[in-house]
Homo-oligomer: A and B are copies of this chain.
Amino acid sequence: MKLTSKGRYAVMALVDLARFDNINPVSLRDISLRQGISLDYLEQIFSKLKKDQIVKSIRGTHGGYVLSKKPNEIKLTNIFHAVDEKVKTVQCKKESKKGCNGKSTKCVTHNLWDELENHINTFFEKKSLEDLLKNNIERRT
């Protein structure tokens, strides 16, 4: 299972982006300063987000990034998928056609991980950027 800082940063940055993306694009430098995330690292993350068309980039002075869709259309699943945070639990070796751990049958836990994966994905499919945004605005009033 992979769910690390990269995914967290991606979500934080996108919430930030969603909040300030009104008229002008938002520069990574601003996000970096506001969220306390290294600029260089943000660039890596945003290049992936762009590849998955979650954000659009605008170059040049006063350039920056803009969301490609509305906040309620961006689910957390999409974000994690973009930055390679696979909600994929321990792999039973799948290269070998044989089964898990070189045995001829599936290991007893094989189905378990599939179920867990579904369970987690359900959670992330329901949550959108907008949900987080709301939650955050409420808390700051």
Contacts and interface: CB of A to CB of B under 8 A. Distances in A.
For this chain, the copies found in one complex come to: 2
Query: Which secondary structure dominates chain A's binding surface?
Result: helix
Given A3-B1, A101-B35, A120-B120, A112 B90 contact: no
Contact of A90 (B7, B92, B127, B139): B7
Interface in A105-121: 105-109, 111-113, 115-116, 119-120
A103 B60 CA distance: 29
Interface in A70-99: 76, 89-90, 92
Interface residues of A, number: 40
Given A108-B132, A119-B123, A132-B109, A101 B11 contact: no
Nearest to A6: B90
Contacts of A103: 35-36
Contact of A116 (B2, B102, B123): B123
A74 B113 CA distance: 18
Interface of A: 1-5, 7-8, 11-12, 15-16, 35-37, 76, 89-90, 92, 101-103, 105-109, 111-113, 115-116, 119-120, 123, 127, 132, 135-136, 139-140
